[in-house]
Amino acid sequence: MANNGTYEQLKLENQLCFPLYACAKEVVRLYTPWLDPLGLTYTQYITLLVLWEKEKVSVKSLGETLWLDSGTLTPLLKKLEAKGLVTRTRSREDERSVEIGLTEEGRALREKAAEIPEKVGSCLNMPPEEAAALYSLLYKALGRLAEADEEARGASEGVK
């Protein structure tokens, strides 16, 4: 018989990762009613957000911006290309690099998506100062996770 007092660190309520996971899942779910009519998933939507801002990016840069690996990004980009929203072309400067750009249809979708952030934001019902604090804390956490990942890679390379 387990002693519940001995394993406090294993209680779900003591896990920082759980409310982050649950909240992210629920926020993504909030997007569904507005993304479905556009024929987009949340991941396709955030990919288009980057392209609407930058017009053309390398696959590597896009993956870094969205925190997505190539195993996730490549099929995602193929689907967006099949929908006629993006183009994939080899870079003229570096043949190994693939650049992603918007098509006219991809640019036009921007207008249809323009009100989505406000609609989703209103569902959160959070005062602007709390939303700004949360935003700041989440990006701080992402930065620290990136640093920890770099340190872990450096340590594992030193072991080889």
pLDDT of residue 49: 98
Each residue's pLDDT tens digit, 13-27: 999 999 999 999 999
Specify whether 98 is located in the same domain as 135.
no
User: Along the 160 residues of the chain, how does pLDDT read in single tens digits?
Assistant: 455 567 999 999 999 999 999 999 999 999 999 999 999 999 999 999 999 999 999 999 999 999 999 899 999 999 999 999 999 998 788 878 899 999 999 999 999 999 999 999 888 888 999 999 999 999 999 999 999 988 888 877 766 5
Backbone angles phi, psi at 126, to 5 degrees: -120, 130
- Given a contact cutoff of 8 angstroms between Cβ atoms, the answer to whether 23 and 62 are in contact is no
Give the domain range for residue 135: 126-160
What is the torsion angle, in degrees rounded to the nearest 10, for the CA atoms of residue 24, residue 64, residue 57 and residue 102?
-20
Domain CATH code at residue 102? 1.10.10.10
Largest CA distance in the chain: 66
Would 117 be classed as within a structural domain?
no
Specify whether 38 is located in the same domain as 95.
yes
Give the count of domains, the chain: 2
Specify whether 32 is located in the same domain as 81.
yes
Specify whether 47 is located in the same domain as 90.
yes
Specify whether 28 is located in the same domain as 61.
yes
pLDDT of residue 91: 78
Report the distance separating Cα 117 and Cα 38, nearest Å: 14
Specify whether 140 is located in the same domain as 94.
no
pLDDT of residue 138: 95
